[in-house]
Amino acid sequence: MGAFAHGGENVAERAVLEIEARRVKRFEVKACNRADMVMAAPNDQEELAKAGVSPGKFHTTYHLGDDSGLEAPALQFDEAKDNLFYVGTLSWLTNADGLLWFLSEVWPC
C-alpha cells in the first residue's frame, strides 16, 4: 500500500505522491478551464473552484455506489462515434466506476 494508506511512513514515497498529486491537479485545472462544462460532485467543485475553475462551468453529479459497471466488457474505442474527455485518475476505483457508469447509462442516450 502507498503512503496515504499507511499514514506516510516512507518519506520518499510520500514526496513522490505529493509531486504526482500536484501534477494531476494542475492538469485537471487546465483541462477544466478548456472545457465548456465540468461534471463533478459538490466537494470536487469546491476544490476545483479554489484552484481557479469557473463555478459557472459545473454540473453537479453524485456517486451512487453502484459497482455493477466494473464488470462491463472492454470498451471498443475504434468504434466510437463521439468523443469524451475524462479528467481523473482511474487508479481510484470510484473514478473508474463513475466513468463506466456514465459510458453505459448516460453516453448512449
> Which region among 9-13, 48-52, 75-79, 92-96 has the lowest average model confidence (pLDDT)?
75-79
What pLDDT is stored for residue 107 in this prediction? 77
**Helix (H/G/I), strand (E/B), else coil: 44:** helix
Task: Give pLDDT tens digits for 34-90.
Answer: 999 999 888 889 999 999 999 999 998 876 666 666 677 777 777 767 677 787 788
pLDDT band at 6 (very low <50, low <70, confident <90, very high): very low
What pLDDT is stored for residue 48 in this prediction? 93
Rounded CA separation 12/43 (Å): 29
Of the candidates 20, 31, 86, 25, the one whose C-alpha atom is nearest the C-alpha of residue 51 is 25
String of DSSP letters for 49-90 = HHTT--GGGEEE-------GGGGPPPP-GGG--S-----S-T
Residue 8 carries which DSSP code? S
